[in-house]
Copies of this chain bind each other. A is one copy, B any other.
């Protein structure tokens, strides 16, 4: 028996990038934005002019983390903060990002991929992700 999955199309990913960049411009911050598929692999990426180089990988890792576990990255710290072994240990997991700016992308109940933004404050990065998700809310709420 094969399983059915949803993943993000290029068309959807491109619209998400644009919406995240529009929000970043409104916030006057330069960010990197990454969209990954349900396997955590890159579909679309954009770096705004003068966005920090360090954030190129962070944006991709946030998107990966969200797609690979199904949680927004800002919920991870709450999950691990009271369990010292996780708090000091799980943060070493390859590519795992436990701070805000990554969100899973769902189609109804199904995990279909992730978006990650990096370059601003956590609040700014999250606001850019949320703008991208809002842009595709009709598909997401199907």
Contacts and interface: CB of A to CB of B under 8 A. Distances in A.
A119 to B, nearest CB: 10
Contact of A85 (B65, B76, B84, B90): B76
Interface string A37-57: 111111111111110111111
Interface in A96-117: 96-100, 107, 112
Number of copies: 4
A92 B70 CA distance: 21
22 contacts: A2-B8, A2-B9, A2-B12, A2-B107, A2-B142, A3-B9, A5-B5, A5-B6, A9-B49, A10-B46, A39-B39, A41-B53, A41-B56, A43-B47, A45-B46, A54-B68, A57-B94, A58-B93, A85-B98, A88-B91, A89-B97, A89-B99
Interface of A: 1-14, 21, 37-50, 52-58, 65, 67-70, 74, 76-77, 81, 83-94, 96-100, 107, 112, 122, 139, 142
